[in-house]
Amino acid sequence: MLRGDKLVVAIGAVTAVPLGEKVEAKLSWDVVRRAEAIFRERDPEFDLCDVPVEIAIGDHRRLFYGGRVRLEPYEVFVARAFCNTTDGTDECAALSLIGACPASAANCSALLLWACNIELTP
């Protein structure tokens, strides 16, 4: 949900929806490919199972497999990274503007989506 160009809350496959002017979410495929290349030096068939979600808010950038962190002015919660399987399971996350949307509501909604195995891609 956006107000003008400002993100208020995003829940689910956050990499698949617009997040406003100063918030970006993407899958870190470039990092995964470089890491896989290092592991394949020992195991030529190695594949990483999960792709971290990269969240950028202003000048702050973080990679998540899961967990919760405050990146002002947002609360960021990643319930599940992208699952790099044949069918590909979308990430499940919540981004909530501190003071505008309760983080607990956004985070619980993300967990509910993940637990119910709802299709997360729009």
pLDDT given at position 84: 79
pLDDT given at position 93: 95
pLDDT in tens, the chain (122 residues): 999 999 999 999 999 999 999 999 999 999 999 999 999 999 999 999 899 999 999 999 999 999 999 999 999 999 988 887 766 688 999 999 999 988 999 999 998 888 876 554 45
Which residues are 27's β-sheet partners?
53
Instruction: Note the pTM of the prediction, 2 decimals.
Output: 0.85
Helix residue spans in 3-122 (DSSP H): 29-39, 103-115
Distance from C-alpha of 13 to C-alpha of 58, rounded to nearest angstrom: 20
pLDDT given at position 119: 52
Judging by beta carbons within 10 Å of its beta carbon (0-12, 13-18, 19+), is residue 93 exposed, middle or buried?
A: buried
pLDDT given at position 120: 46
